[in-house]
Amino acid sequence: MANTPVRDRSTILVLNGPNLNLLGLRQPEIYGTDSLADVEKLVAATAAPHGLTTDCRQSNHEGQLIDWIQEARERHAAVIINPAGYSHTSVALRDALATCDDMPILEVHISNIHQREPFRQHSYVSALASGVIAGCGIQGYAFAVERVATLLAAMKK
């Protein structure tokens, strides 16, 4: 029992999927010129007034994202995820998120996936999410933090 992790009810896990490490460099006409570091600063600044902290991680590897989601079940209050290209392809990522059914999950997309190619218009994650924010640029992450704060406050009542 001594090694059992304790869930931190004030930390939001913010996960970013493949190629988001190239924000600001890759297709700025679609994703803008802000970097992943800018996203991380934004979510931390948005969370702080609510007494929340963020744990920001990015991976290009599906298995790593799944490991972090499984860890979140024991360690985090909520998950904000931009699954990027895995939105449209990863049943495994969806199945991992399904195990987090007692916490808020917010899905974020920088671009409006519904205005893009048909294969990008479906997300396996959306059906499990407490909310989906798309097409708001990196500001969508701040909206997601605000929604998580509201949902966590409601869970305490």
Q: Known catalytic residues?
A: 31, 109
Q: How far apart are CA 23 and CA 1, in angstroms?
A: 41
Q: What are phi and psi of 105, to 5 degrees?
A: -125, 120
Q: Which of 99, 90, 72, 80 is nearest to 9 (CA)?
A: 72
At 76, is the secondary structure helix, strand, or coil? coil
- 54 bridge partner residues: 12
Q: How far apart are CA 119 and CA 73, in angstroms?
A: 30
Cβ-contact 103, 154 below 8 angstroms: no
